[in-house]
Chains A and B, each alone.
Chain A
C-alpha cells in the first residue's frame, strides 16, 4: 500500500501571499500537489481556530503565508498573523503535538522560489514527523 500523501493547508493572504504561487508558476517551478491553498484577505484574518480545525479535519501541517512584515498591504497584518500562529504553536506544544506542523512565512510577489520552498519545507516536516494523529482509523 502506498503511504498516505501528506495533506498541507496553506492560508495565503490575497496580496503577496497569493501572488507568490503565481510568481512560481510563471517561472515554471513545479512543487508537490499536496498543498491546499485557502485564500484570506490578510493573514491577520486567520484565527487560531482555523488552523486547529484544519488539523482536526485531516491536515498534517498548516502554514500561513503573508506579506513581508515591512511591506504588508494592511501594514501590521502579517505581524498580527504571526502572533496568532505563535499562539497556536504554543497551544500545540502543550497538547503534545509537534509545533513544527504549524508555521508562519512571509513572502513578496517577486520571490519566485519562495512558495515552492515553503511547500517542500512543510512536506519534509510531515515526512519526518509522519501523518498527524489517527493513522489507525484512516487506513
Chain B
C-alpha cells in the first residue's frame, strides 16, 4: 500500500468555528507527509458532501482516510459505503471525534483545544498508516432453526414470533407439557451440550431415551422460574403447601381450595436454606381480591415481612384490605412457624398487635419465587453468565434488550429474574423476533479486526482459551492455539493476557496503541 491519505474536516461537527479553527487544522494537514487530499465540508453526513469527498478521493487515488468529525457510530454509514465503492478499504478509514472530545468539553480554552485537535489529527495520521486493509468474510448458516429452551409462557410466545419471521422453531421442553407449537415440540428433553457460535450452533439434546444432535442458528433461553422447588422449614412441616403460581392455576382451573387460605411470603422466613429472588405480591393481591369477589366469606390472610407491589398495583393493597383480606406483618423477632405436630396451624408474631397469633389454615401458599434450579446447568452448557441470585444474566445493554453476552443466544422471561406472565410473554415475543431475525440473515459476517495467533510463539498454555468469553481460541492440530474467526468478537482480551505475546489483534497492535499514546503525549496542550 502506497499510503495516500485524505483528510476530511466536518464544519458542522466542529460547529463553533471561532473556537476551533478548522481551516488552520486542514491547512496543517495538507503540509503533512503522505496527505494528498484535504477537504473541508459543511457536513460530512450530507450526501452531497459524501459525493464530493469520494470523487476527490478517486481522483487523487486515496487509499486511507482520516475523518475529523464526530464518533464513528454517529457518522452516516453512507460515507463508508461510498468509500467502499471507491475501493478504499473500510478498515483504513479512521475517525477522530473532534466534536465530543475537543470542541465541546474545552470550549472555555480555545488555544489548548486547537493544540489538542492538531495533536489528535497527527496521531490519527500516524495510526492510519499503521493499519492494514482487512476483509470481512461470510459463512452460510447451515439451518434456519431457532431452538427455544422451555415451553412455558415466554418460550411459547418466543417460538410463535420466531416462526412468524420464517424461522423453523424447535421447543425443548423438560416436562410432558403438551400444547400447539408452531414448529417441533420435543417433550421430556434436556440440553446436554453445545458447540459452535451464533449462526451455527450444534446442540446435543437428550429426548426421552435418545440422544441427538441438533443444528441451529439461534437459541432462546426461556427456562422460567423455579416454581416447583420448595425448600425451607415451613414447606417441610406442611407437605400440602404450594407455590402461589400453582394455587393461582388451580383456582383458575375451577378447583375449590379448602379454606381458610394463608399466603406466607417465604417457606424459609429466616432466609437460611433458600435464596428468594422475588415475591409475587402483585399476584397475591390479585388472587386474594378475586377470591373475595367470588365469595365474600372466603377467609384469606397474607403474612409478610415487607410488601412491595409495583406501581398501580399498590392500589390493590387498599382494595384487598377493604374487601376484608387480613394482612399480618412480622419481622425477625417473630417469624412464622409451623409445628410439624400441628401441620395446619402457622403461628406468627403480629407486629401491629405485638402478640403471637395462631392461624389455622386449609390451604397454605408461598409468595416467594425461587430461582430455577436448571439455570446453572444451562448457563454452564451455553457458557453464558449467571447473576448472583441464581438467575441468568443479561448481556450488556448495548447488545440489545433480551440479549446475552454471546451473539445468537437470547433470553426472556423468569430465567432472568421472576416476573409476571404478561411481562414474560412480552419478553418472549421480543426474544423470538430477535432470534428469528438473527437466523433469517442466513449468513454470518465475521473477520475484520479479530485476533490472530503466531503459532511459533505459542506455548499452548491455554490461557487464551480460559479468558475468551466467546470460545474463539482452541488448540488446533499443531498443538498450538488457533482462533475460530467466526466466533471472535475482536475484544482483544486474549491478546493482553497471552504470556508468550503470541496473539495479535489485527489493526490494534501494541505498536499502534503505544505509538498513538506517544504522539498524544508529545503534544503540548
Contacts and interface: CB of A to CB of B under 8 A. Distances in A.
Interface of A: 5, 7, 9, 15-16, 18, 21-22, 24-26, 28-31, 33-34, 36-38, 40-42, 44-47, 49-50, 53-54, 57-59, 67, 70-77, 80, 84, 109, 116
A11 B393 CA distance: 27
A58 B525 CA distance: 13
A71 B405 contact: no
A122 to B, nearest CB: 14
Contacts of A49: 510, 514
B342 interface: no
Interface of B: 71, 97, 99-102, 104-109, 112-113, 116, 119, 385, 393, 395-399, 405, 449, 467, 469, 489-493, 495-497, 505, 508, 510, 513-514, 516-518, 520-523, 525
Contacts of B385: 75
A28 B104 contact: yes
B489 A74 contact: yes
B398 A16 contact: yes
Nearest to B387: A70
Contacts of B490: 41
A28 to B, nearest CB: 7
A33 B113 contact: yes
B395 A75 contact: yes
A26 B491 contact: no
A42 B397 CA distance: 15
Given A15-B398, A72-B396, A33 B489 contact: no
A53 B397 contact: no
Contact of B508 (A26, A40, A57, A80): A40
Contact of B396 (A25, A26, A44, A71): A71
Nearest to B100: A25
A54 B520 CA distance: 10
Nearest to A67: B396
Given A41-B490, A44-B467, A44-B497, 11 more contacts: A9-B517, A15-B396, A30-B107, A41-B449, A44-B491, A57-B514, A57-B517, A74-B405, A76-B467, A77-B493, A109-B398
A47 B510 contact: yes
A36 B398 contact: no
A58 B116 contact: no
A102 B427 CA distance: 42
